[in-house]
Amino acid sequence: MQEIRWILILEIVYTIAIVLTCLRIIYDTRSTTKTLAYLLLTVFLPVLGIIIYFSVGTNYRKRKLYSKKIIKDEQMQLRVREQIYLESKKIWDSVPDEILKYQKLAQLLLNDGMSFLTGNNKVELLLNGEQKFPEVLRAMQQARSHIHIEYYIFEDDEIGNAIKDVLMEKARAGVKVRLIYDDFGSRSIRKKVIPELIAAGVEAHPFYRVHFIALANRLNYRNHRKIIVIDGCIGFTGGINVSDRYINRGDDKQIFWRDTHVKITGTGAFYLQYLFICDWNFCADQPLAPQTHFFHELKDYAGDAVVQIAASGPDSDNPTILFSLIQAIGMAEEEILITTPYFIPGESLLDALVVAALSGVKVVLLMPDRSDSRMVAAAGRSYYSELLSAGVEIYQYEKGFIHSKTMVSDQQLSVIGTANMDNRSFELNFEVNAVIYDNATAEEMTRIFYQDLKESKKIDAADWEKRPLYKQLPEKLARLLSPLL
């Protein structure tokens, strides 16, 4: 009788827990698809479903991991915002006529993330590690004031140690060097590299330290950004982490790694600097206040590109990067070229691509032939039929692994950054994209894209629909889990 009473009490407690969890899911989750997925997990997987939801499903955007405000005074905030709007309007009034059609995109980023337009930037595309790392090392060697560096993956290998040596050398020479490293992605540098850097005078902090008790949840919200800012006027961002795997040395045993990074010289680096300061103030013991030398105006003319930065994560009100991509896709008139290693678009982005294709815009997607995540790749393939039937062209890169996260529209607009086209990048990770309004950059990006297509195979829509059911079933099952991937 005693055992029956305890069983009854446990059943009541568990029922209450399920009800409360379901109410939390309904109240907290914005996406209907994700809400249904979490509800099914909670109801049909006893105990485990609740654990999964609280591990990976909590809406941190609603709660915000931290505030981006680096100016605490509200009146000062208002004056800064007003000045940003005025300066952005001045830049926009001077752009070429063919760029004016992207004004709504620029306004979106200005309103949603206070990301201001910047003019007179020099933009340099850096393909693969063999182009990026020599340029990064050269720029770091020339640093006079400070080096701010923030990476998801920083490895204890040849290139990691080469960058470490330069950072230590500059710190000893009096340059202020600050490093933010993701505590999970850069775990290989915790024991040896970080103590060496700190001993040389580098200030280094992990972003969102991984503790065992909160392991699953903290692994879910990672800093996926790759940012370098040197002397306040030179910025780097893109898909390339600090790792030897990104450098193609011609070794037959090595997988060819195709990736894209960008160097921005000019005021386009200011927002990257702002993001770094925000992230630094979240993870460091001693916060940074905005200082004049952090935002250094170039006296010499840099270039012609207009640049804006799109950033989002669990610290932002909206999935800004997703919104910016949807807006850019909707504004395209002739051609949209997208490269992404992981593709789980969700309903809104999928609809945007389908609408563009059905409207007569040429839409081309380039993804890896072989992925490093079978589940994610299977979920991505489940969207192909809808895209192909709308006229979207899909290519799979065969030369190696393509890791670039880029989009180019009408040979006028380019997007280069860290965000994949998947739920994790749009909702969970801290990400950053450079939005470049510049014909020369877009034309070069277009040329590079079509060069990559020569190393790729095109998926035939008719053949794709004829695939046997046993191949389609795993993809459809994976798609059911896509909101959680």
Cα separation, 142 vs 170, whole angstroms: 9
For position 194, what pLDDT does the model report?
A: 95
Cα separation, 404 vs 417, whole angstroms: 8
Per-residue pLDDT 10s for the chain (485 aa) are 666 777 677 777 777 877 887 888 787 766 676 777 777 777 777 777 777 676 666 665 555 555 555 555 455 555 656 666 677 777 777 777 777 889 999 999 988 878 888 988 999 999 999 999 999 999 999 999 999 999 999 999 999 999 999 999 999 999 999 999 998 889 899 999 999 999 999 999 998 776 554 444 445 668 899 999 999 999 999 999 999 999 998 877 789 999 999 999 999 999 999 999 989 988 888 888 777 788 877 767 678 899 999 999 888 888 999 999 999 999 999 999 999 999 999 889 999 999 999 999 999 999 999 887 788 888 888 899 999 999 999 999 999 999 999 999 999 999 999 999 998 899 888 999 999 999 999 999 999 999 999 999 999 999 988 888 877 888 778 777 666 66
On the 0-12 / 13-18 / 19+ scale of CB atoms within 10 A, 10 is exposed
Q: Does 320-484 match 122-304 at the fold level?
A: yes
Q: Which two tokens stand for residue 339?
A: 């490269």
For position 213, what pLDDT does the model report?
A: 42
Phi/psi of residue 438, nearest 5 degrees: -160, 120
β strands within 13-117, DSSP E: none
Candidate list 224, 261, 263, 296, residue with the active-site label: 224
**From the candidate CATH numbers 3.30.870.10, 1.10.30.50, 3.90.870.10, 1.10.3720.10, the one assigned to the domain spanning 122-304:** 3.30.870.10
Q: Is 438 a catalytic residue?
A: no
For position 380, what pLDDT does the model report?
A: 86
For position 119, what pLDDT does the model report?
A: 87
Candidate list 148, 263, 296, 405, residue with the active-site label: 405
For position 454, what pLDDT does the model report?
A: 96
> CA nearest 166: which of 175, 155, 153?
175
Q: Residues in the chain, how many?
A: 485
Candidate list 182, 410, 422, 452, residue with the active-site label: 410
- Parse the chain into domains and list their residue ranges: 2-59, 122-304, 320-484
Candidate list 148, 205, 226, 261, residue with the active-site label: 226
Q: Is 157 a catalytic residue?
A: no
Single-letter amino acid, residue 297? E
Global pTM reads 0.87
Superfamily of chain region 320-484: Endonuclease Chain A (3.30.870.10)
Candidate list 182, 403, 422, 452, residue with the active-site label: 403
For position 170, what pLDDT does the model report?
A: 97
Judge contact between 357 and 389, C-beta under 8 A. no
Candidate list 112, 182, 183, 231, residue with the active-site label: 231
Q: Is 224 a catalytic residue?
A: yes
Angle at 454 between CA 307 and CA 432, to 5 degrees: 25
Phi/psi of residue 123, nearest 5 degrees: -115, 125
Q: Is 296 a catalytic residue?
A: no
For position 433, what pLDDT does the model report?
A: 97
Q: Which one-letter DSSP state was computed for residue 460?
A: P
